[in-house]
Structure 1
């Protein structure tokens, strides 16, 4: 009998995280679904996962503070123990914040929030859950194509994702002996509810067309497909890799 695999997806209530959760459910995973504010949307994803025939647990977590990160870690650990689940196979760090404030506009609070959610949470969640993971497990970080493109109006956000890329290849070396792979996925412009305000305009469409070699924006499912591959046995010898999924932006 094939063993059921379990995955944690942070930021799973909408956008790319939602698409990833649904794709992993289709791949046969049971899910732990993290959300921050909107439990209604998280429950929609939970019902979708269950309609596929998989199990799902919804977990709230505010990654803007040390206390929120620690509270989430305690809760996910308790769920793993209470559910008598020995280990996680896949952890997908998707939750995060973005900003369009430039170099001279980001204040202390916004700077801290961006690094808390985008860097500190993935780091400490990974640190805390590593002993709860299978020996052939997968850690998949959502980074961004902005790490190789100079966007001054997104400088601090780009810095956080640069840190994630560094964590990815460095931690891959650290965890290699355990058989755990760690990779990052770097999306480009993706059509989600968080980008809709500017992307669904004539100017936004033109910008997306001009940036991409494919002359279009990406879809959340296209990012989910890459995560699905990295979580699969087909990607068993790929680790420490920052995978560009920008549709050829700024080539």
Structure 2
């Protein structure tokens, strides 16, 4: 079995379910030691770790609620504690910002509390987690941000979420320039509709899913593995000449 990420260490925020879990499993199969964060679903996090280890990989999980004061400091403290037997030097090669908070309110109904929560998780956390990671991240490493089609497609009903993902894409561009001299690439992956628990309505309603699929050039809705495989490419040496990009992973939605 090919292991292009052998001896690499990856951290994925929100890695216990959906896209994050698919990414964790794929990077584990590719040979990386995988750390995942989870907010509350300890059972799902354990399933993710067990699945990677049962396939011969190495993984560990750490509990962390993003969007809270000092979450960056607490994340790396938890990483060192949980990963003492896996990553004794505390270094890493791949940092993936996947955890996100949603918002389903138009501007007229949006509260300050909801806005602050979305930006704290989707923008502030990646900023300061990355800042604190700079001494840990090895030269030639990877930072990968999971963005959204909502950043570039008008979606008034998710205006705060959309704006936060637009900010994350801007962060990607500037960070790529800043970390370029160290050989670290920084890219965003922009999924469309992916059939995870966030889209239970579509998974339970084939007619509604078929209607949404009509907007997709490839004629179907996405699966978590569709995103994970792209992330695996960006995490590998094959992507060494790609940086500062927002890469569409929508199957050609709304083109």
Q: Same fold (TM over 0.5)?
A: yes
SS of residue in 1 equivalent to 2:254: coil
- State which of 8, 13, 17 in structure 1 corresponds to 2:16: 13
- State which of 145, 152, 157 in structure 2 corresponds to 1:148: 152
Q: Indicate whether 1:122 and 2:95 are aligned.
A: no
| Structure 1 residues 129 and 78, CA gap change in structure 2 (3 angstroms) | farther
Report the TM-score, using the length of structure 2 for normalisation.
0.93
Shift of residue 240, structure 1, vs aligned partner: 0.3
- State which of 7, 13, 35 in structure 2 corresponds to 1:32: 35
Distance 1:200 1:169 in 2: 38
- Partner of 2:95 in structure 1? 91
Contact 2:140 2:184 in 1 (8 A): yes
Distance 1:10 1:103 in 2: 28
Shift of residue 73, structure 1, vs aligned partner: 3.0
Distance 1:123 1:195 in 2: 27
Gapped regions of structure 1 (runs ≥ 5): none
User: Hey, which bits of structure 1, 4+ residues long, moved more than 6 A?
Assistant: none
- Partner of 1:236 in structure 2? 240
Shift of residue 70, structure 1, vs aligned partner: 3.3
Contact 2:6 2:31 in 1 (8 A): no
| Structure 1 residues 178 and 80, CA gap change in structure 2 (3 angstroms) | farther
Report the TM-score, using the length of structure 1 for normalisation.
0.94
Range that drifts further, 29-38 or 79-88? 79-88
Distance 1:152 1:50 in 2: 42
Distance 1:173 1:76 in 2: 27
Q: Indicate whether 1:192 and 2:224 are aligned.
A: no
Gapped regions of structure 2 (runs ≥ 5): none
Shift of residue 7, structure 1, vs aligned partner: 0.3
| Structure 1 residues 148 and 199, CA gap change in structure 2 (3 angstroms) | farther
Shift of residue 103, structure 1, vs aligned partner: 1.1
TM alignment of 1:1-251, pairs within 5 A: 4-79=7-82, 83-85=87-89, 87-251=91-255
Distance 1:55 1:81 in 2: 13
SS of residue in 1 equivalent to 2:134: helix
Shift of residue 53, structure 1, vs aligned partner: 1.3
Measured against aligned partners, the alpha-carbon deviations of 1:165-209 in whole angstroms (never above 9, x if no partner) come to 000011000000011100000000000011112453245313322
Contact 1:208 1:215 in 2 (8 A): no
Distance 1:88 1:79 in 2: 14
| Structure 1 residues 69 and 86, CA gap change in structure 2 (3 angstroms) | closer
SS of residue in 1 equivalent to 2:109: coil
Contact 2:60 2:83 in 1 (8 A): no
